[in-house]
Amino acid sequence: MQEETRKNLEYVQRVLTDVRKYMDAASVLNYDQETICPPKGMEEQGEVMAFLENQAFRLKKDPAFLEAAEKLYLNREELDEFDRVMAESLHREYQNTKNITPEKQEQVAKAQNRAFVRWLEAKEKSDYSLYRDNLKEVRDLSVECAALRENALPDSYDNMLEDYGRGIHMKEIDGWFSRVKERLIPLLRKIQASPVKIRRDFLSRPVTDEQQRQMADYLMQVIGYDLTRGALALTEHPFTSSLGRDNVRITTHFHPDAFASSMYSVIHEGGHALFDQLQPRENYDHFIEDEKSMGMHESVSRFYENRIGRSREFVHLIYDRTREIFPQVMHDVSEEELYQALNIVEPSYIRTEADEFTYSFHIIIRYEIEKALMQGTVTMEELPEVWNSKYEEYLGIRPRNDREGILQDVHWTFGFGYFPCYALGNMYNAMYYNRMKKEMDLPSLVAKGDFAAINSWMAENVFKKADRLSPADWIRDITGRDFTPDDFLDYLEEKYSEIYQL
């Protein structure tokens, strides 16, 4: 390494150390805001978060930092693999934010915070009109910032999608989702016509918060989530937050008449947390711990939630403990009845509560609405009606109010482009599951709760290179194949044809 490159690297690392401190502090405040912050303190706390994030942004806009970072990029062949990834990431970020001033960044952060606070109020009151203007502000700023990128793509929505997965744009997603609809819509109709009736009455039997907390503690222990480096709190919309190398926290919610909701929220968020807890320590040393795409992240959370968590073997593993913790629920429920109920196909309004089969339609609906919203073919005023009509078109149900319709998800308060990641995640994990089961007796490991072996395989094959590869290269590195949705669609067809005796 040339001396100049070494000095630039050391300087960039010093600045990024300070950037990380600001961002970690903002993340702690965000975790607090979404868990225990009192309602009247949320907007003020959001202002502090916006200030901290803006301080980090200003550090990275300093001319000396930009010069050093760009020189690293130009001389990246002198760097090791981890630092080369960092230099390339900083270059992409520079291209995206070169024309965005600190003042504009702060405006965006404050607008998103206001939208979040208004969304909470609007959802509680089931009144979209309380949130509409804030959502429009976030949309307008998102489009404006997308157009300011140095190498902006022609369509603003493609720029937003790029933020969540390099190389993934509308053209690709349209093709993948078209195949999903082609194969799953006819299968859904067959399932709905099946004479098989699955018992589900016990899923809504009342439980206490304490029982749900006991179950959450048990499930975190089962999957191997390290509580010496994590924590669990309650929130309106469950999420995972990485606050540092050894501080990866998750959240859930407790519903007195839906005990399975919290169970699978904990497993889902626990999957996200395992990804961060088990990634290479070198990622933090080289400031690339957040380079993985959100499609990669959702593949892991939904791998643990569905491919593992809704399998026969996992239900067998947790059945006795479930009976112990929820005796008033499970006293007359067999293991097979629990398995079938946790895999029932039943169109519903709420994405996070959706069954594994119909979940893809919830994502397609949001993707189609986002695309229309960015392209100006639907207005803010029309959104609730467009949303409700799409639910009727795809799932045959129509939301009865804004809370179970347009207001159910928090994501749009922070921008657009995330939702496709959930569906892509299902498709990614179906591909690496098929490799995994060739190399280990996965059903046996799940049935006996050997998550140490499962997590070890995931760490070596799925987590290890995620921050260093594009999504396309990453899934090819794991499986030896190019990305395809077919593994996931094959899995759904096989599993649900068996359950519904098609």
Active-site option among 162, 269, 305, 370: 269
- How far is residue 174's CA from residue 42's CA, in Å, rounded to a whole number? 38
Which residue stretches of 62-97 are H helix? 63-74, 81-97
**pLDDT, tens only, 73-103:** 999 999 999 999 999 999 999 999 999 999 9
> Within 13 A of 396's CA, how many CA atoms are on the CB side?
7
DSSP for 275-332? HHHTS-THHHHTT-TT-S-HHHHHHHHHIIIIIITTSHHHHHHHHHHHHHH-HHHHTT
- How far is residue 402's CA from residue 386's CA, in Å, rounded to a whole number? 12
Q: What is the pLDDT of residue 20?
A: 96
- Taking domain 170-499, whether its CATH number is 1.10.1370.30 is answered by yes
Count Cβ atoms below 10 Å from residue 352 Cβ, excluding itself.
15
Count Cβ atoms below 10 Å from residue 189 Cβ, excluding itself.
11
**Structural contact between residues 116 and 48, judged by C-beta atoms closer than 8 angstroms:** no
Q: What is the pLDDT of residue 105?
A: 92
Question: pLDDT of the chain along its 502 residues, tens only?
Answer: 799 999 999 999 999 999 999 999 999 999 999 999 999 998 899 899 999 999 999 999 999 999 999 999 999 999 999 999 999 999 999 999 999 999 999 999 999 999 999 999 999 999 999 999 999 999 999 999 999 998 889 899 999 999 999 999 999 999 999 999 999 999 999 999 999 999 999 999 999 999 999 999 999 999 999 999 999 999 988 999 999 889 999 999 999 999 999 999 999 999 999 999 999 999 999 999 999 999 999 999 999 999 999 999 999 999 999 999 999 999 999 999 999 999 999 999 999 889 999 999 999 999 999 999 998 999 999 999 999 999 999 999 999 999 999 999 999 999 999 999 999 999 999 999 999 999 999 999 999 999 999 999 999 999 999 999 999 999 999 999 999 999 999 999 999 999 999 9
Q: What is the pLDDT of residue 132?
A: 96
Find tokens 């639910």 and name the residue: 391
Q: What is the pLDDT of residue 211?
A: 98
Active site residue 269: yes
**pLDDT, tens only, 94-140:** 999 999 999 999 999 999 999 999 999 999 999 999 999 999 999 99
**CATH 1.10.1370.30 residue ranges for the chain:** 170-499
Q: What global pTM score does this model have?
A: 0.93
Q: What is the pLDDT of residue 495?
A: 97
The closest alpha carbon to 343, from 494, 447, 211, belongs to 494
Count Cβ atoms below 10 Å from residue 221 Cβ, excluding itself.
12
**Structural contact between residues 79 and 87, judged by C-beta atoms closer than 8 angstroms:** yes
**pLDDT, tens only, 318-337:** 999 999 999 999 999 999 99
- How far is residue 229's CA from residue 270's CA, in Å, rounded to a whole number? 12
**Structural contact between residues 126 and 407, judged by C-beta atoms closer than 8 angstroms:** yes
Q: What is the pLDDT of residue 353?
A: 87
- How far is residue 291's CA from residue 281's CA, in Å, rounded to a whole number? 14
Question: What letters, b where the CB count within 10 A reaches 16 and e where it falls short, cover 305-326?
Answer: bbbbbbbbbbbbbbbeebeebb
